[in-house]
Structure formats: structure tokens, C-alpha cells
Amino acid sequence: MSKTALLFAGQGAQTVGMGQELAATFPSARAWFDRANAALGYDLASICFAGPELELTRTENAQPGIFLVSWVALELLRERVPGLPCDATAGLSLGEFTALTAAGAMNFEDGLRVVRQRGRFMQEACETTRGAMAAIIGFDEVPMREICAEADVALANLNCPGQLVISGVVELVAKACELAKMRGAKRALPLPVAGAYHSPLMASAQPKLAAALDAIAVHAPTVPVISNVTAQAHGGPAEIRARLVEQVTSSVLWEKSIRSLLAQGFTRFIELGPGTALTGFLKRIDKSARALNVADTASLEATVKVLKG
């Protein structure tokens, strides 16, 4: 019997207009946006729908915005496909919070609020450091780790074969990019981000996030949720809190996480939320894996058709 994993987008997936069509088409979706606004005390929905882009891109808005649109996509799919198959969940960076919420480890309001706080704490860390990130295309992990050690930067994301992301002080990231290109990387592309996520430069966010997580109820998930830090399923509430704090400065082991699910017999993956970056990574990891996604009405209808067919 095939197993299904639900995947949730990370920062960078945000785009002005995300969720607007879903809210206009489905009253239940609009209700979730209203509920989010009430929980946060400001109009996050209008920032998702209308921007401006500069406002949406701010970490403290992008993170809860992506969480919210991903959650709405999940709830609409659950509504349309009663008994939606879900044997595990996983999310990229902030998407791990959505994955945990989807698996019942925290409630919607708590998950949304703690992601908003996480975004603010990371924004504060960005403003007190001079960090940058870059994508290294067409290069292997082992030589990239050697360059990271040489340049004193972090290997932030291991997304899929041929796509790595580095993070650290601006000048050192530039140095690592030059070394990677000299040693055979196809491309080294600076990323339009506010700072050095998933690197030691984010350490100031960790005690604040730990306190925020201690203030909410965390439960054992109803299905396995894959940790970005270990590429294995989370344990109980104490371990979940610890791994989420650790994740702020640790590498995101996305390729390893997907390979772990594939090895356990997962054959169908449903990406929920804005964009299709995770579907792209999946296809680079295993072309035979079946990928579906829900980001708007058309993709919702297409996914419902497949799941009901």
C-alpha cells in the first residue's frame, strides 16, 4: 500500500497575492484568514493578498504568511477529501512548524503566533549581524563542506542533488562562492534574503524562540514529523522544542529527509502552500516519486481529482 507525506513550504516561497484566490472562492478559507488576523492582532491576510512586496518579504510577515497559506491549502484539501491520506509530514525550515501543526503537535493559533515570533527574532538577528546566503548549483556536498570550513561559512541547506545553500558573514559568503566556482560549481547565486539563516549568526534568536515554545502546549504528533536537524521523526514534546530551537542555526537536511521517507515506502508527496520548490527538489531526488500540490484553486482541483480518482 502506498504511503503519502504532506510537505510544507519554507521562506522564499512567499509571493504577493498568495491565498487571495482561495479566500475569494471558499468561505472556509476566508474564515481561516480572519481567524489568523484575530490571533495575531493585525491584518496579515491583506499583506499576503496585496503586499506591498517589501512588507510581505519581511521575515516577521513572510514566515506567518507562508504558514497561513499552507494551512489553508491543507484545510481545503481535508474539506474536499474526507479522510485525506497522511502517513507523515515534513516542512522546509519554517515549514516544519506547519508540518507539526498539521500533525496535531500544536494548535493553529499557537503555531501561527510562534512562527510570527520566530520571524521577528530572526529579523532582529539579521539586523545586528552582516549576513548573507548563496545557492551553489551543480556541486557536491563533500567539496562544499571543505570550502565552508576554509571560508568559515555554514552549509545551511542540502536541498537536493546539485543544490546547496551556504550562509554566513557577507564577505565570507562571497569568498566561498568564488572558491566554489573555481573548483567546478556551475553557478553561485547570492540569495535575496535579510541575513544568514541556518548559521551561527542566528544564535541570538534561539533563547527567545525557546521561551516562546515553552509558553505554548506541544503534544506528541499523530503521525511522524521529520525533523530538519536529524532527517528523522521527532520524538515527544521536549525533543520537538529542542529540535526547533536547534534548527535556527543548524543545516536543513532536506534531501536526507526525503530519502528517509522514500526508504520507508513513501511514494506520494503533496506540497501544500505557495510555490512548487519542494516538488522541484523531490523530482531531483527521485524522478519516480508522485508529486501533487495545492497552492491555488486550479492545483486544488487537480489534486482532489487525483486523490478521488
Q: Which helix or strand (DSSP H or E) is residue 190 part of?
A: strand 187-190
Give start and end residues of each alpha helix (H) in 86-187: 95-102, 108-127, 141-151, 170-182
Same domain, 63 and 173: no
> Is residue 197, in this structure, part of any structural domain at all?
no
Do 230 and 109 lie in one domain? The reply is: yes
CATH number of the domain at 171, please.
3.30.70.250
Do 85 and 230 fall within a single domain?
Answer: yes
Residue 107 falls inside a structural domain? yes
What pLDDT does residue 27 have? 98
- Locus of grid cell 494548535: 107
Same domain, 218 and 102: yes
| Element containing residue 59 per DSSP (H, E) | helix 59-80
Which neighbouring-strand residues pair with 303?
none
Residue 243: per-residue pLDDT: 98
- Does 18 lie in the same domain as 91? yes
CA distance 135 to 178: 12
Catalytic residue among 2, 28, 46, 93: 93
117 lies in a domain?
yes
Amino acid present at 236 = G
The total domain count for the chain is: 2
Within a domain: 196: no
204 a catalytic residue: no
pLDDT of residue 157: 97
CATH of the domain at 17: 3.40.366.10
198 part of the active site: yes
Could you tell me if 45 and 165 lie in one domain?
A: no
Domain boundaries, position 249:
3-127+204-308
Asked whether residue 195 is assigned to any structural domain, the reply reads: no
- The pLDDT score that the predictor gives to residue 2 is 84
29 in a domain, yes or no? Answer: yes
One domain, residues 121 and 39: yes
CB-based burial of residue 157 (10 Å sphere; 0-12 exposed, 13-18 middle, 19+ buried)? Answer: buried
**Alpha helices of 201-263 — where are they, by DSSP H?**
205-214, 237-247, 254-263
Burial of 259 (0-12, 13-18, 19+ CB in 10 A): middle
Same structural domain for residues 180 and 47? no
Is 108 found in the same domain as 22? yes
Let me know: does 153 contact 199? Beta carbons within 8 Å: yes
Residue 155 CB partners (closer than 8 Å, separation 6+)? 141, 144, 145, 148, 164, 165, 166, 167, 251
C-alpha closest to that of 69 among 52, 47, 93, 42: 47
pLDDT tens for the chain, residues 1 to 309: 689 999 999 998 999 999 999 999 999 999 999 999 999 999 999 999 999 999 999 999 999 999 999 999 999 999 999 999 999 999 999 999 999 999 999 999 999 999 999 999 999 999 999 999 999 999 999 999 999 999 999 999 999 999 999 999 999 999 999 999 999 999 999 998 889 999 999 999 999 999 999 999 999 999 999 999 999 999 999 999 999 999 999 999 999 999 999 999 999 999 999 999 999 999 999 999 999 999 999 999 999 999 998
Task: Reply yes or no: is the peptide bond before residue 224 cis, omega within 30 of 0.
Answer: no
Same domain for 157 and 50? no
Same domain for 186 and 261, yes or no, is no
The active-site residue, picked from 167, 198, 234, 250, is: 198
Final residue of a domain: which of 143, 160, 190? 190
In a domain, 211, yes or no: yes
Same domain, 98 and 71: yes
* Residue 300 counted as domain residue: yes
